[in-house]
Amino acid sequence: MAFNDPIAELLTKMRNAKDAKHRYVDFGFSKIKVKILEILKGHGFIENFLVNVEQRKVRVFLRYTKGRIPVLNGLTRVSKCGLRQYIGYSGIPKVFNGMGIAILSTPKGVVDGETARNLKVGGELICTVW
């Protein structure tokens, strides 16, 4: 099944897998998805991910606490295909008072909100994660 918005597909599949308490979730490969997953792994929201370039698939291993409670509480797509949301570095939101992250596509690449603030670059606000 073809999707118009691959980032929304990534976020929706991860949200559904988290709610169903699956160990991992698979989806199609793209460079921007891998960059987003690197940011999520760096901030501890996911355990790991594997890229299979031959089959063009990515497998994400979700992270849970001792009581099988997901570390990832929510994912929200901010900038959509029909309405892009661009912000300056001073307008980058703090998600849940710093407990979550904002992910942006900037001229310096796909980065989290704190890095974009430090680099003083704005861009397209892709999503927020908490």
Identify whether 1 is part of a domain: no
**Same structural domain, 83 and 48:** no
Query: Within 10 A of 81 (CB to CB), how many other CB atoms are there?
Result: 10
CATH, residue 52: 3.30.1370.30
Mapped onto helix, strand or coil, the DSSP state of residue 83 is coil
pTM of the prediction? Answer: 0.94
Cα gap 87→82, rounded to integer Å: 16
**Same structural domain, 57 and 95:** no
Q: What's the number of domains the chain is made of?
A: 2
Containing domain of residue 108, as a range? 75-129
**Same structural domain, 102 and 123:** yes
Nearest to 5 by CA among 23, 27, 26, 25: 27
For position 26, what pLDDT does the model report?
Answer: 97
Query: pLDDT tens, 35-54?
Result: 999 999 999 999 999 999 99
CATH, residue 106: 3.30.1490.10
For position 1, what pLDDT does the model report?
Answer: 52
Residue ranges of the chain with pLDDT lower than 70? Answer: 1-3
Do the Cβ atoms of 106 and 122 come closer than 8 Å? yes
Identify whether 46 is part of a domain: yes
| Residue 96: its H or E element | none
**What is the residue type of 127?**
C
**Same structural domain, 50 and 15:** yes
For position 115, what pLDDT does the model report?
Answer: 97
Buried b / exposed e along 2-37 (16+ C-beta atoms within 10 A): eeeeebebbbebbbebbeeeeeebebeeeeebebbb
Identify whether 69 is part of a domain: no
